[in-house]
Every structure is written in structure tokens, then in C-alpha cells.
Amino acid sequence: MKPGRLAAGYATGAAVVGFVLAGVGALATVLGGLGLLGVTVGSVRGRATLVTVGSLGQFGAVVTGGVTGAGAPQLVGAGAAVVVAWTVGRTATELRATLDETAATHRLETTHAAGTTAIALAAAGIAVAPTVVSVEATPVGVGLLLVGSICLTAALALAPDESM
């Protein structure tokens, strides 16, 4: 198996989850679909810029879904899936650009995808926990969520693209 193939498939699967969870309206569905296409083609072809642009499209779908009234657990799950798709998709492109076709990266890709998913699920669980235990949202929590969203957007937009 060529380096990055397993990670590309996993990134595509995570992007599909993000698309399904975030596509609650027409605009969110279009943005999510274009983002899904970008993540898939970018991770399979080894184009880091396309993975990043696709992830930004999917993140736009999450934001649009939030504006149109999607529930918090659904949006948190979609956001976590987008983060996993972007991280694992970028790893797929970096492995393809760095290693030759005979390199055995199956364990590396599996470990990275599993670790990224575990961290994203833990963060999503922490984010959704207040809604499950019936705690009122505080202005500090909303502010932290806004700051986190801005940081994620900046990280996606400013990520270096060495594999172009």
C-alpha cells in the first residue's frame, strides 16, 4: 500500500461524517459537499492546499448549520469530524510528498488517525457535557468557544503548504 492511502481514506470518511452532520440547510449542504470534495481529492492526490480549502468549506458548513438552527451536539460532532479530516488529510499529503512508494506507513497512519479521533472525541465530549448535565451556558464559555473558532479558522487559513 502506498504511503498516505490509508490516511486519505480515513480523512474522506471523517469528511463524510462532517458533511452529514453539518448539512442541515441548502447553503450548509453546498459548502459541506464542496468541502468534502476538496478533502477527498486533496488527500488522495497529495494536494495539501486542497485539503485545507476543503476543510475550510466544511467548517463554513458547520458555521452555517449553527446559524440555521442545528443543535449543539450535532455541530460539535461535525466540527470534530472536520478537524479529524483536516489533520489526517494533511498527514496523507505529507506522507506522499516525503516518503517513497515502498515505505510501510500503515501503522503510523492508523496510530495517527486513532489518536486524532480520540482527542477530537474527548474535546467534543467536554464541549457537549454542559448540555447533557443541564448546565446553563455562561458568557465565559460562549467567549471561549468564539475564541476557539477564530483560532481554528486562523490555523486552517495560515497552515503552510509545503507539498504543493
| Of 85, 84, 69, 78, nearest in space to 127 by CA | 78
pLDDT of amino acid 136? 67
pLDDT-flagged residues of the chain (< 50): 164
Amino acid (1-letter code) at residue 136:
E
Residue entry with cell 466540527: 79
| Long-range pairs, 94-101, Cβ under 8 A, ≥24 | 94/4, 94/48, 94/162, 94/163, 95/3, 95/4, 95/7, 96/2, 96/3, 96/4, 96/46, 96/163, 97/46, 97/48, 97/162, 97/163, 98/3, 99/3, 100/3, 101/2, 101/3
Measuring CA to CA, which residue among 52, 48, 73, 59 is closest to residue 126? 73
Residue 164 confidence (pLDDT): 43
| DSSP SS3 for 152 | helix
Residue 77 has what pLDDT? Answer: 92
What confidence tens digit (pLDDT) does each residue in 20-42 have? 998 888 999 999 999 999 999 99
pLDDT attached to residue 89:
94
- pTM value is 0.78
pLDDT of 2 reads: 82
Is residue 78 within 8 A of residue 14, CB to CB? The reply is no
What per-residue confidence (pLDDT) applies to 130?
75
Report which residue type is found at 36: L
